[in-house]
Chains A and B, each alone.
Chain A
């Protein structure tokens, strides 16, 4: 079935978009990730303008992070105060990100910037996960939790001003640290259309020493607002949120996530992480090819409609 996207002004195959978002939703159900970093590149490869892919994907992330956070809230695994401090940075990051996005668009380098950022992010995260998973395979029964607790926060981070108490996380740290992490999250949401959970979660653990139990819920909590804010900014400044595309993405994502969550308990942790790391690296390699192999068509055209 062809669906006409009113903002992108093109017809797309609803089945294809639905299938991809369902597969990504399935993966996100199993691995507890947003999956924006898989959907956005796909939409771009499919021929949807990068600006619309990013803006619309941010909308889809609002839905998936909201669905995710409810479960954590019910179990009380969200540090709301920490989330709010991260949000202040997140809003600032989104604002700057949108500005950056517009600039890159004007200079014709948005495709390049998106591809290059994805390669750096996916490459490093994929490699780290792969090494970590293989390490876990070799050295069994090594508990992650105790490792985190033993971790010392760097003296530089510990010495920053504006210290705040976070009773839920039992932390007394500078507000600049969660604010800075949120800032990066906001940047990622507005420039790349991803929630950035795969970056925020390790940062919250390693840079703040936050209890592992609260980390995922809190990152999801602030993600609702940064991705929501990014959506509104994209919609208001460059009209690049396509509601029809968002609806197909959200429905596919929700259904896929349900199946993924059902299957998740049957999946073995370490092997799942290896498969996941390989998927991430696969997308990265694809991106590298996209950027470094001479494209068949060197030319691209841009319409100037909004002047």
Chain B
């Protein structure tokens, strides 16, 4: 109910905008996604308005980090990690949505320049003495792994029009979603060329107990370790007491 109410508010805010001028604007239904102890995934709803008849594309990108992909090879019959490639600035989450079939939006290579579509999932290999065709299987494996974790898409999502100029797109964040700052970018195309764009950011963070524990563990690991040990000792003592009374 809360979410529905917020969506309607966002929609109402956007309506006069679209009526007033040639603006292209988006907003996210919720600026923060809270990861609590019971978190098991969440939706991100993006609302927007356009003027004109052109198609729209939206991307959702997570925080960027370096990722190392390792490949196993047999050593005396045992499968060990033997080769590795480190990719720079890989978005830890990526998804995108189209309001029309991709052919009606723009050439895929143009879309990729703006970071839209599967072709945009192309990363820089660090101090790459290796040739492109050597790092390619590693990049494919990275994409495959992220797809299996629902952190990269397999196909585009759909942007639906709920009024002639008002659209919405739904993205899904899995339980394993990386935390950090996410960027929503929207692109408005006309005749295969980018006309307008807009971007918003949102925070995905652990809150409550979950965040407190994580913060505690990161900032004062030593004390945190002591607390864990103390809890374990208490649990051991308690179970011994129960056993003796039984």
Contact = CB atoms under 8 A, between A and B. Distances in A.
Indicate, yes or no, whether A interacts with B.
yes
A300 interface: yes
B227 to A, nearest CB: 8
Contacts of B72: 295, 298-300
A68 B236 CA distance: 8
By secondary structure, the A interface counts as: helix
A244 interface: yes
B235 to A, nearest CB: 4
Interface in A202-233: 224, 228, 231-233
B228 A246 contact: yes
B78 to A, nearest CB: 5
B184 to A, nearest CB: 22
A297 B138 CA distance: 12
Interface residues of B, number: 63
B201 interface: no
A235 B221 contact: yes
Contact of A63 (B86, B217, B233): B233
Contacts of A258: 239, 242-243, 246
B114 interface: no
Report which residue of A59, A66, A233, A303 has the largest number of chain B beta carbons within 10 angstroms of its beta carbon. A66
Contacts of B236: 62-68, 70, 254
Contacts of A71: 240, 243
B18 interface: no
B70 A299 contact: yes
Interface in A1-49: 2-4, 6-7, 9-11
B153 to A, nearest CB: 17
Contact of B225 (A10, A108, A234): A234
Interface string B11-38: 0000000000000000000000001111
Interface in A264-305: 291-295, 297-305
Interface string B204-246: 0010011101100110011011111101110111111011001
Interface string A86-119: 0000000000000000000000110110001000
A241 B225 contact: yes
B66 interface: yes
16 contacts: A2-B175, A3-B37, A4-B35, A4-B37, A4-B40, A6-B210, A9-B176, A10-B176, A67-B243, A71-B243, A109-B81, A241-B217, A243-B228, A250-B235, A258-B239, A298-B71
